[in-house]
Amino acid sequence: MPTLLDFIFDHIFAFTGVFIALYFALCAIYQLCFSPLCDIPGPWYAAISDFWLITHVLRLQQCRTINTLFALYGPVVRVGPNKVVFNDLFTARNVYSILKFDKSKYYKSLLTNDNDHAMTTLSHASHVFRKKGYAPHYTPTSLAQFQPEIVQSALELVNILDGIVKGNAINCLSFFRHLMVDIASVSSFGYRVGALNKWAIDAEDPLVTAIGDFPKRGILRSAVPVWAWKLVCSIPNRRWRQLCDSDKIMAEFVSARVYETRLQMVSGASEQSDRVALVQRLLRYYSGQSTDTASDRDVISEHMGHLVGACDTTSTTLSYLFWELSRRPNIAKNLQAELDAAIPDCKTFPDISVLQDLPYLTAFIKEGLRLYGAVPSLLERVVPCSSEKTTIPEAFDLMGFALPPGTIVGTQAWSMHRDPSVFPSPETFSPERWLETGGDDKGKLEAMNRHMMPFGKGSRVCGGQNLAQMVLRIATAAIARNFELLAPPETTEKSMEMRDSFVVFPASMACRLIFNARKNR
């Protein structure tokens, strides 16, 4: 006669299935009815699991999806069992600037060389320590030492474009990424690595490819478990393995530069220069903090973070700026008229201070950063305990909703920059909105400037934003002054539709444009 034990073994899978289903049902009921976040509006299925949001992350449409949720549910939306997003200026200032919440673990997917750098350091206190090492390098005074090489790179850009057969289209994403690698290498290591020259002769540069691959690698690592990531990286495809190894490729290049510089510093050779490259600053800073081995590792990781942060982002924004010029002749005409007056001789270039005082160029760059800032994604932070001495911490008041410690919160530049009450016709590219003409314009400009966060917000704002602003002005002035831009048939609204993987890029993964020399240059 069968025993109870025999019955259980015969139906073990059925029982297991029932228990699993019951467990998930109870979890769903808790999240929907009893969770501290249950009163926050949002899709019911998002409250049950992170899976829904992860699907949009993998589809590279998280920014657009969250912006749609704000339109449906209002300025506070629950997008996961433990994640709440907001679209509010006061709350953004509170979270990022005043209370300075620590970052979420999402940023660990962007580790370089299996080590932290400024972007992946979660706690505010630890970030302050790292920031002290590189912040002096990005002051306007320090960057001015590198302006001649940045201008030289821009003029080399012009010479390369002059050599292209009229009517031939080039992929701006790749072209400008090579430009940025040259500029970032000057700032970081004191010399240009010749990436533009390699592009001109159609030679692959592994470093440039690795920098372009790294953000995509990061989004995959953040969305899949460790075992799945290892499985993905074992796929026997050269291009796929190249993407998975992008971190290793960058690390090998940067390591060599760091060790070379350390030897030069020991011998005293590097002290002969009046300017100080970032690698020297970081080596000096970390040398007094830890052993040489740990010091070098931190310097290498920090440098890799700066290379990715500088190159892929600025090259994308430049590509979208010139795409806008190719399809908006009135804007191109206004910009070129201002540049013609400021740069009478296209073979010479004024100081950056001259470009910074050009109102239309400034408005053009600002509008580009509003719509095409390269990092418009969620800046995730974690609600802290109200006090380490309090055993029962108080909740954080987010626009009337009480959020317990550990809740992930964040906003995104994508939505802040598209608020129709601040930016009328928010999807329209219009530099004129930034030009003050009197009346109520001053108040409107102040409101727009407060909502701008293309480089982040608060204490964790991008350390290299001054370099990015300098390059955007110089590169835009050099190309707009010398060329008329056209979009070939394959470059369309659909091909240029933005996709996001923390940074943004066109849906077609390319921005092909035609650069024809201006007749009056």
Helix (H) or strand (E) segment spanning residue 470: helix 465-482
Task: Give the span between the Cα atoms of 521 and 484, in whole angstroms.
Answer: 11
Query: Which residues does 57 contact at the CB level (< 8 Å), separation at least 6?
Result: 219, 222, 223, 501
Task: Give the span between the Cα atoms of 157 and 164, in whole angstroms.
Answer: 11
Residue type, 453: M
- Residue 480's closest CA among 355, 309, 353? 355
Task: Give the span between the Cα atoms of 486 and 322, in whole angstroms.
Answer: 9
Give me the sheet containing 169-171, strands edge to edge: 169-171, 512-517, 483-486
Q: Which two tokens stand for residue 316?
A: 């994308």
- Residue 321's closest CA among 147, 454, 456? 454
> DSSP letter string over 260-276?
HHHHHHHHTGGGGSSS-
Q: Which residue has the tokens 């034990």?
A: 5
Angle between helices 292-327 and 124-134 (to 10 degrees): 80
Asked whether residue 63 is marked as a ligand-binding residue, the answer is no
Question: Rg of the Cα trace of the chain?
Answer: 25
Annotated binding site for heme: 462
Annotated binding site: 462
